[in-house]
Amino acid sequence: MSAIDELFTKLRSEGRKALMPFVTAGDPDLDFTAAVIRELVARGASLCEVGIPYSDPIADGPVIQASYTRSLEQGVKLNAILDTLGKVAQKVAAPLVTMVSYAIVYRHGLTDYADQLVKRGVAGMIVPDLPVEESSQLAEVCRVRDLSLIQLVTPTTPRERALKITETSSGFLYYVSVAGITGERTELPPELVERVAWLREQTPLPVCIGFGISQPEHVRLLAPVADGLIVGSAIVRRVAGAATMGRKATLQEVGEYVASLVTALSDS
């Protein structure tokens, strides 16, 4: 089993759900990214997603887009990101995965990118712009390396297509809560619970919900029907405050925010 398979097997045996925060690599720099990941795991995060900055993001809202721009302007390179993740992976008791454009994976080579993750102890990759029709080759590359290839299902994905996505995905399915881009929202679609419940009946893969989740109320609403909840923009926005608040205060704020979500998850 992959590290993510082992994580969800353990969580399910304990009747718990995963809180899965997202951070942008290199914003404001890689040392702080490493510090944030350590803080998130110390506060109860089960898994951390790390965004690989890309100049043409597909579904990222303005908060994450801005963080990618800041990181790229610093000149952060992929190898440096992966080296940082390799060091962090040795020190935290939670799997790390990269959120990465398929263009980056393809440019570096499917097997090379996968091998670089394995070398650093990274557990998998989320590839949001990989069409299911073109995913079989990367899925096989990941399968033989016990890497998880996490793919997305959206509210507009036809059910037949969603079932195809489950066939080449591993680790967990990333269910996008709303049509559109990432970002904090005050309300989530009322039909979301029903759609996720249907998907969970179709596959043994854990189903985790992302996009728009930012409040303990969201966590309490969705925890009963999801295996995990993904929080991105609300964390990235707080990390951006390091430029004015200072790093120590920012780490504390991010940690306390994530701890509040973990508490809401455990109370659900």
Tell me if the bond preceding 62 is cis, omega within 30° of 0: no
Contact 112, 118 (CB under 8 A): no
From the list 60, 187, 201, 267, the catalytic residue is 60
Domain range spanning residue 227? Answer: 3-267
CATH code for the domain of 140: 3.20.20.70
From the list 5, 27, 39, 49, the catalytic residue is 49
Residues contacting residue 257 through CB under 8 Å, at least 6 positions apart: 234, 235, 238
Residues contacting residue 253 through CB under 8 Å, at least 6 positions apart: 238, 241, 245
Place of tokens 């996490």: 150
Q: Nearest 10 degrees: CA dihedral of 255, 257, 258, 264? A: 140
The domain tally of the chain equals: 1
Order across the sheet with 173-176: list the strands. Answer: 148-150, 124-126, 96-99, 48-51, 18-24, 228-231, 207-210, 173-176, 152-153
Q: DSSP code of 156? A: T
Q: Quick one: pLDDT at residue 213?
A: 85
Catalytic residue flag (residue 60): yes
pLDDT tens over the chain, length 268 residues:
899 999 999 999 999 999 999 999 999 999 999 999 999 999 999 999 999 999 876 656 788 889 999 999 999 999 999 999 999 999 999 999 999 999 999 999 999 999 999 999 999 999 999 999 999 999 999 999 999 999 999 888 999 999 999 999 999 999 987 644 444 444 555 678 888 889 999 999 999 998 778 888 888 888 888 999 999 889 999 999 887 889 999 999 999 999 999 999 988 6
Contact 165, 145 (CB under 8 A): no
Residues contacting residue 89 through CB under 8 Å, at least 6 positions apart: 96, 120, 121, 122
Q: Quick one: pLDDT at residue 95?
A: 98
Q: Quick one: pLDDT at residue 189?
A: 57
Measured CA to CA, the distance from residue 210 to residue 189 in angstroms comes to 13
pTM for the model stands at 0.92
Structure tokens at 23: 């951070």
Catalytic residue flag (residue 49): yes
Q: Quick one: pLDDT at residue 183?
A: 41
- Cα–Cα distances in Å, from 267 out to 19, 134, 216, 221? 13, 40, 10, 11
Q: Quick one: pLDDT at residue 235?
A: 94
Helices (H), 121-232: 136-143, 159-168, 192-202, 216-222
Backbone angles phi, psi at 72, to 5 degrees: -65, -35
